[in-house]
């Protein structure tokens, strides 16, 4: 009886081993078929990654989210096949990854075409760009915008010249203050004149707080940061087109699109409903109102009818 039980156990073990070996290729295939959505380490990217994952799951895809990455790390991960889908910005791809000459002088469509062409040899496909343009801007407190009746950077510069008896603080992060395509050429293009004492370098997040508290006259901001709306900051029009466009665009590995023919259609439909107003509101809900990224993403998908 004991010998029979031993043989039975050995037979069951053999069968289990054979079953596991048979299932391994299926598990590997399932893992390979899971779409890995990447995201950078700021609010907008967390929201975009979550919306994308939830939407694609509704369409029957298996999705894994890997957010919280730096720009260069996310880029390397996608090039190495560790990420399948990311939301990238045209300006970032042009200036940081591909070093496209005179990228800042290109109009939005030409910039998009350049980065799409440059990334094709890397096996990366740029789908339709969203109207969401998270570029730099100069922001002023709402009170100043109303009192001075300014809507553009040129109008601000005229007001500053007329008020040259007073000091006006211009706040920005250290990177922008010191890089070759940052503060100095901006001042040259618009004819801005600030004393050294009027130029203040600070953490990017503190710029919004300083504007909100009327501690500075003008600050360097990002156009879709939730604090722009939450802190009543007015983003001035860049009427001489100094800042390049940073249109958010779904970028997908070519082999993934080949495996999933409908994926491009789904992601393009998502890109079509994203613009600055929509993103500003979602970023504000997270950064100012304290809502979770997951809840904000869920509300977005409930209120936007996607195919």
Q: What is the pLDDT of residue 105?
A: 86
Which tokens is 54 given? 């939830």
Q: Are 138 and 221 in contact (CB under 8 A)?
A: yes
Spatial distance between the Cα atoms of 288 and 212, rounded to a whole number of angstroms: 13
The per-residue pLDDT for 15 is: 44
> Domain spanning 136-236: which superfamily?
Osmoprotection protein (prox); domain 2 (3.40.190.120)
Task: Tell which residue, 42, 81, 48, has the closest CA to residue 65.
Answer: 48
Torsion sign across C-alpha atoms 150, 152, 153, 157: negative
Q: By C-alpha distance, which of 216, 233, 248 is closest to 137?
A: 233
CB 207: neighbour CB atoms within 10 A? 28
d(CA 86, CA 220): 26
Question: Domains of the chain: which residue ranges?
Answer: 35-133+246-303, 136-236
Return the closest-CA partner of residue 125 out of 250, 286, 291: 250
pLDDT at 249 (0 to 100): 98
Distance CA 252, CA 264 (A): 8
Q: What is the pTM of this model?
A: 0.82
- CATH code: domain 35-133+246-303 is 3.40.190.10
List phi, psi (to 5°) of 233. -100, 140
Structure tokens at 104: 């800042």
3-state secondary structure of 307: coil
pLDDT (tens digit, 9 = 90+) per residue, 16-69?
Answer: 444 444 443 333 334 458 999 999 999 999 999 999 999 999 999 999 999 999
Nearest CA-CA partner of 251 in 78, 47, 81 = 78
Are the C-beta atoms of residues 227 and 208 closer than 8 Å to each other?
yes
The DSSP call for residue 120 is G
Q: What is the distance between the alpha carbons of residues 218 and 155, in angstroms, rounded to a whole number? A: 13
Cα 133 from Cα 156, distance rounded (Å):
22
Domains 35-133+246-303 and 136-236 share a fold: yes
Bin 139: left if φ > 0, else alpha if -120 < ψ < 50, else beta: beta
Q: According to the model, what pLDDT value does residue 32 have?
A: 55
Q: Which parts of the chain sit beneath pLDDT 70?
A: 1-32
Q: In this predicted structure, what is the pLDDT of residue 195?
A: 92
The beta-strand segments (E) located in 198-305 are: 199-201, 218-222, 233-235, 248-253
- Quick check: 228 and 134 in contact, CB under 8 A? no
Rounded Cα–Cα distance for residues 190 and 157 (Å): 7
């Amino acid at each position: 009886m004991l010998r029979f039980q031993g043989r039975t156990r050995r037979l069951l073990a053999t069968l289990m081993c054979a079953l596991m070996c048979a299932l391994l290729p299926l598990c590997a295939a399932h893992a390979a078929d899971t779409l890995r959505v990447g995201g950078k380490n700021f609010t907008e990217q967390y929201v975009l990654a979550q919306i994308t994952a939830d939407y694609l799951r509704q369409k029957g895809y298996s999705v894994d989210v890997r957010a919280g990455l730096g720009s260069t790390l996310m880029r390397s991960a996608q090039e190495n096949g560790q990420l399948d889908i990311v939301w990238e910005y045209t300006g970032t791809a042009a200036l940081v990854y591909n070093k496209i000459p005179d990228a800042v002088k290109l109009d939005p469509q030409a910039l998009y075409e350049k980065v799409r062409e440059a990334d094709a040899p890397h096996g990366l496909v740029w789908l339709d760009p969203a109207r969401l343009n998270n570029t730099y801007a100069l922001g002023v407190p709402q009170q100043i915008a109303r009192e001075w009746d300014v809507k553009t950077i040129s109008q601000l510069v005229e007001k500053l010249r007329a008020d040259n008896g007073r000091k006006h603080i211009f706040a920005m992060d250290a990177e922008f203050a010191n890089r070759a395509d940052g503060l100095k050429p901006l001042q040259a293009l618009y004819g801005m004149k600030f004393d050294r004492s009027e130029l203040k370098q600070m953490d990017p997040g503190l710029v919004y707080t300083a504007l909100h508290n009327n501690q500075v006259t003008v600050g360097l901001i990002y156009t879709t940061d939730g604090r722009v709306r939450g802190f009543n900051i007015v983003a001035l029009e860049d009427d001489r087109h100094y800042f390049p466009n940073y249109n958010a665009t779904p970028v997908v590995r070519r082999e993934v699109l080949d495996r999933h023919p409908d994926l491009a259609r789904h992601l393009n439909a998502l890109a079509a409903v994203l613009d600055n107003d929509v993103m500003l509101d979602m970023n504000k809900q997270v950064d100012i109102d304290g809502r979770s990224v997951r809840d904000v993403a869920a509300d977005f998908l409930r209120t936007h009818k996607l195919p």
